[in-house]
Chains A and B, each alone.
Chain A
Amino acid sequence: MGKILIVDDDPDMVLATRLCLEYAGHKVSSARNGEEGVQQIKADRPDLILLDVMMDTPTEGFQLALKLRNPDPGSDLAPFRDIPILIFTAIHATTPLRFESDQDYLPVEGFVDKPLDPRILVEKVNTLLKKGR
């Protein structure tokens, strides 16, 4: 029902997520890094973005999120600012860092733990898509 873009450099994660979300009835496209991700966003505006934290660099996912949410009206990603973002992360389990969605600090709508729990992923995606409508 929605167009979902996955930005993740791990092809297995992309496949798992694609199978899961297509089964739930969504349309899924993917990008391998931040740069490709921006291109895809501009070319074919998605309804929701799934971002992996670590790609080419350790915080590539966050940086893309920050770029997307840049409040500067002159930014070339301004028209896409309101697309909901979910971040894939495995950080929860290994370091004491806790990321809570904080408007000022990290402008994303939520987090999804890796490894995937398909039910949880689908639930979160559907909830966000509904909000957007």
Chain B
Amino acid sequence: MAEAERQTNPLGTLLPSDVATANARMISLRWLAGAAVLLATALGVHLLHLPLPEIPLYLLGALILIYNAVLHGVAARGLSPRSDRLLQRSRQAVIIQVALDWSTMAVFLHLTGGITSPAIPFFLIHMLMVTILLPEVPWYIYVSIATGVLAALALLEAGGILPNYPALPVLPARLHLDPFFILAQVLFFATAASASLLLTASIMTRLRERERQVTALLHSSQAVSSTLSLEEVLSRLAKHAAEAVFTDRASIRLLDETGETLELAAAYGLRQEYQRKGPVELSRSGLDREVLSSGPVLVDQAASDERIQYPREVVEEGISSILAVPIIGRSGPRGVLRVYSTQSKRFGQDDADLLTAIAGEGAVAIENAMAHQSLQQAEQDRAQFVRMVTHELRSPVSGAQSLVRVLLGGMSGELSERQQDVISRVAARLDRLMDLINDLLVLAATKSESFVEQPQPMDLIPAIQRVLDQHSLAAGEKKITLLKDIPPHDIFVRATQDGLAQIFGNLVDNSVKYTPCGGTVKVTARRRSGAAVVSVSDTGMGIPKAEMTRLWEEFFRATNVRRAEIVGTGLGLSIVKRLVESYGGFIGVHSAEGKGTTFIVTLPLYAHTD
């Protein structure tokens, strides 16, 4: 379908908006034309004392203004946005306007001297204007009709069927009857019109085509650079390339590591059988060798072209002509972009230029997507490595802890006080080591997608309640009051049970840990404008203002907690932040040193329509 449109619009595709603009411009100019007729008539008669038929001319001027007002009213009502009807209606509107204008033009010429009228150049001007605004109609149509109108007018006046109104008394009285004069005027008119319309039409066509190409390039650029997914970039590139040159088939092949084979990376409009034809090897495909070494290649008749590696498959697919351009990245050629057509000799140099530009933009987007992909892979690999290593660390540390605890329990004989002290310190170090290992494992899990459970809809409230229950002992030991303010209804979010336990567990744990004896820790939960908002606040030691921005860094611990020698791995908040964000939420904090801290977790509510 895209191809068909190209055939019937050899002068370039007009958008409905172009025609609408043309309409509007003509209407604006016509106000001037109507007014000018009235003014010129008045001046001509009263200032220059020309023998013009005053009343008919005033009527004509008024008529022009009236039908312009009608046209304006119709246009202002606006047409439906359905583009195909819009285009048709707009074209009809223009044709009506041109018909009306040329009719009034004929009358005006008649009233100002017919073939001797000094206003004949205005006719030419109108024709030029129409060509500029609507280059669709071939120039010879305009010229034929206009010349016909002029010739008809001359003959009707010469034959006496219509009266002649000579406007300029200085001209010979029977000029309008002279056959040579008539012939000369008509011929000059036809020649002048043909020459100027031809030139204008060709300029306009070129202009529109350039405009279209730039727009196609712009759209293509936007489409491919708005995504970092390599697959998306390639598929969009293929589609836009095809559309830009009005065809419906395209393919992208990229060089593999050996640089000898082109692997299919994206296909648009091609059948599966053709896509599966096999790898394209540079050694056997003269076409691709040429493209990669010297630039765009046009194949006019694919069936008989020796440069093609799979001629039989090409014929089966119905392909006749091919345009291939290289995709050149920062470090050299990356692959080949091809567009196909079922017509032979379909593509030209212009198409090659446009496609080369599109391929250039595409190359940038492809390389960006590849870089992004390898970055993500590197992150995954790193997370995997951390997970493996820390997992291996658990077993020996766990064994050591078990032995040390048995020792401390006096189960391997009585310990002296000094021995107790020393072994306790060993136990403490091992415990810290184990905490770190566990936190690292959790953190690595949040970074590696394959290991994270899929979030399910679940109620926040029981998770919060469990966390509070778990910490009631520790809080009690420090005489810290645990307060909760949770609603009687449920609050559903998308999360995992472990994730929620980690999030609230870490926050409440921190609050209890960093709040001195006798303080308060309060947890509130609310539903607020489509989100679940949970706050954990305490009357603890707070966070120094200067260190607030570093709070979420891995292994970061604020100076005041380090000075107070409170233990911690520094990973808790980075784990919490990653989990919250992976559930689509965000976390914020307020704090005042020495007064207390409040963490606020916001998560999107689970809507049952999800």
> Interface residues, chain A, CB within 8 Å of chain B?
10, 12-13, 15-17, 19-20, 22-23, 90, 93-94, 96, 114-119
A119 to B398, CA, bound (A): 16
Contact present for B401 and A116 (CB under 8 Å): yes
Option from A22, A96, A117, A119 in Cβ contact (under 8 Å) with B453: A96
Given known A-B contacts A20-B409, A115-B434, A118-B409, A94 and B403 have beta carbons under 8 A apart: no
Q: A115's contact among B401, B409, B496, by CB below 8 Å, is which?
A: B401
Given A90-B394, A96-B498, answer yes or no on A13-B399 (Cβ-Cβ < 8 Å): yes
Known contacts A13-B399, A115-B434, A116-B401; 9 additional CB pairs below 8 A are A12-B403, A19-B406, A22-B411, A23-B412, A96-B496, A114-B398, A115-B402, A118-B411, A119-B409
In the assembled complex, the CB of A47 is this many whole angstroms from the nearest CB of chain B, namely: 20
Cross-chain contact A23 with B398 (CB below 8 angstroms): no
Q: Are B411 and A94 in contact (CB under 8 A)?
A: no
- Kindly list chain A residues whose C-beta atoms are within 8 Å of the C-beta of B185: none
In the assembled complex, the Cα of A20 lies from the Cα of B394 at a distance in Å of 21
Residue of B398, B400, B410, B497 with highest tally of chain A CB at under 10 A: B398
B411 touches A23 (CB 8 A): yes
Residues of A within 8 A of B406 (CB): 16, 19-20, 23, 116, 118
Q: Assess A94 versus B402: contact at CB under 8 Å? Given A19-B411, A23-B409.
A: no
12 contacts between A and B (CB under 8 A): A10-B395, A12-B400, A19-B406, A19-B411, A20-B411, A90-B395, A93-B441, A96-B496, A115-B402, A116-B405, A117-B405, A118-B405
Which residues of B approach A to under 8 Å, CB–CB? 391, 394-395, 397-403, 405-407, 409-412, 434, 438, 441, 453, 496-498
Contacts of B395 in A (CB 8 A): 10, 90
A16-B453 CB under 8 A given contacts A10-B395, A94-B438:
no
Contact of A13 with B402 in the complex, beta carbons under 8 Å: yes
Shortest beta-carbon distance, B163 to chain A, in Å?
102
Question: What is the distance, in angstroms, from A118's C-beta to the closest C-beta of chain B?
Answer: 5
Closest chain B residue to A115 by CB distance?
B401
Known: A94-B391, A96-B453. A16 touches B403 (CB 8 A): yes
A61 to B509, CA, bound (A): 34
Establish whether residues A115 and B391, one from each chain, have CB atoms under 8 Å apart when the complex forms: no
B399 cross-chain contacts in A, Cβ below 8 A: 10, 12-13, 16, 115
- Hey, which chain A residues are within 8 Å of B453, CB to CB? 96
When the two chains form their complex, are residues A93 and B403 in contact, meaning their CB atoms are under 8 A apart? no
Task: Please give, as numbers and ranges, the residues of chain B lying within 8 Å of A12 by CB-CB distance.
Answer: 399-400, 402-403
Contacts of A115 in B (CB 8 A): 397-399, 401-402, 405, 434
Give chain A nearest CB distance to B312 CB in angstroms: 53
State the Cβ distance, A114 to closest chain B Cβ, in Å: 5
The residues of B that contact A19 with a CB separation of less than 8 Å are: 406-407, 411-412
Which A residues touch B438, using CB under 8 A?
93-94
Residues of B within 8 A of A94 (CB): 391, 394, 438, 441
Q: Would B398 and A90 count as touching, CB distance under 8 A?
A: yes
Cα distance A16–B398 in the bound complex, in angstroms = 11
Residue pair B403, A15 in contact (C-beta under 8 Å): yes
Please provide the 5 A-B residue pairs with the shortest distance between their CB atoms, ordered closest to farther.
Answer: A115-B401, A23-B411, A116-B402, A12-B399, A16-B402
Q: How far is the CA of A116 from the CA of B434 in the complex (A)?
A: 13
Task: Report the separation of the CA atoms of residues A45 and B496 in the bound assembly, to the nearest whole angstrom.
Answer: 43
Q: How far is the CA of A15 from the CA of B411 in the complex (A)?
A: 11
Say which residue of B402, B407, B411 sits within 8 Å of A114 (CB atoms): B402
Bound-state CA distance A17–B411 (Å) is 10
In chain B, what residue has the closest Cβ to A12? B399
Task: Collect the chain A residues with CB atoms within 8 Å of residue B497's CB.
Answer: 96
Query: What's the nearest-Cβ distance from chain B to residue A97, in Å?
Result: 10
Whole-angstrom distance between the Cβ of B271 and the nearest chain A Cβ: 46
Q: How far is the CA of A114 from the CA of B438 in the complex (A)?
A: 13
